[in-house]
Amino acid sequence: MPELPEVETVRRGLTPAMEGALLVRAELRRADLRFPFPADFSALVSGRRILSLGRRAKYLLIDLEDGNVIIAHLGMSGSFRVEEGAGPETPGDFHHPRGKDEKHDHVVFHLLSAKGPARVIYNDPRRFGFMDITNRDTLASHVFFRDLGEEPTGNVLDASYLAQRFAGKAQPLKSALLDQKNIAGLGNIYVCEALWRAGLSPMRAAGTLVDAKGKPKKALVLLTEAIRSVIADAIAAGGSSLRDHIQTDGTLGYFQHSFSVYDRAGEPCRTPGCGGTVSRAVQAGRSTFHCPKCQK
């Protein structure tokens, strides 16, 4: 499943083709993905200019000039590709050739910009992705967004914020970090990696990182830094590109080659001088990878 760094990579990959372009027509090739498209989706977005591409948690946000926002979620296997040039009947200059089966192309955004016509195509073999439309003014109260915590990429995510959320909690750190009401868009891979970087056990109670006055202990400051740095590193590497996910330009990201604990059960811990072995456990139905020797 694409995690936040992949979605951010997709956003950055699509921005040059979409930002400022006229969305001439949204072509829906089916009535639904994971959910039905809103009945008037195509009519609402067609003929509008795209102001900007944003992201909230793992949702891509396409802001239109009339104040509407297209919300797109990649689900398990969704991806976008950009085709530039006139169109299939006039084979153009395909900058981003892809091997994916076109029968899974479900949405085509036909664009026109100063660079000429282009198509942004949404492909999703498993159809767990979805699209919706709402207004920018009511976005924060939309059912997808109203309960979300802070972004792991923003300055608001600091140790004091997490101390407020974790104070008194017996909940394991792993679960507290995966709770989207605490941190929006942080997923399994990056929680495992951040806990390893911070030297903290995923099983430890979240409340143990907060002092009696409700202030963050040093370990929580280090964990907050680890979360921000692991996400920043993954974005810089272009996402982890596990399984079905491929970047919008068709190239694979490289962060997967630098996982320190995720998917490395039985392999040596990479903490200098540790000598421990990465183990796999199951917490709340999800695989947790950690080094029992150096993560306390």
Residues that bind Zn ion (CB under 5 A): 269, 271, 274, 276, 291, 293-294
CB nearer to Zn ion: give 189 or 294. Answer: 294
CB nearer to Zn ion: give 241 or 295. Answer: 295
Tell me if 149 sits within 8 A of 177, measured CB to CB: no
Of the listed 2, 5, 152, 202, which one is catalytic? 2
136: annotated active-site residue: no
Of the listed 280, 286, 292, 293, which one is catalytic? 286
Min separation Cβ 290 and Zn ion, Å: 8
Tell me if 296 sits within 8 A of 200, measured CB to CB: yes
Q: Could you give the CA distance from residue 92 to residue 112 in angstroms, rounded to a whole number?
A: 15
Min separation Cβ 183 and Zn ion, Å: 24
CA distances to 173, 175, 240, 264, 269 from 204, rounded to whole Å, are: 6, 10, 26, 21, 19
Min separation Cβ 238 and Zn ion, Å: 27
CB nearer to Zn ion: give 157 or 223. Answer: 223
* Site of tokens 């942080």: 186
Of the listed 58, 174, 197, 264, which one is catalytic? 58
Min separation Cβ 271 and Zn ion, Å: 4
Tell me if 237 sits within 8 A of 203, measured CB to CB: no
58: annotated active-site residue: yes
Burial (0-12, 13-18, 19+ Cβ within 10 Å), 207: middle
2: annotated active-site residue: yes
36: annotated active-site residue: no
Query: Which residues carry out catalysis?
Result: 2-3, 58, 286
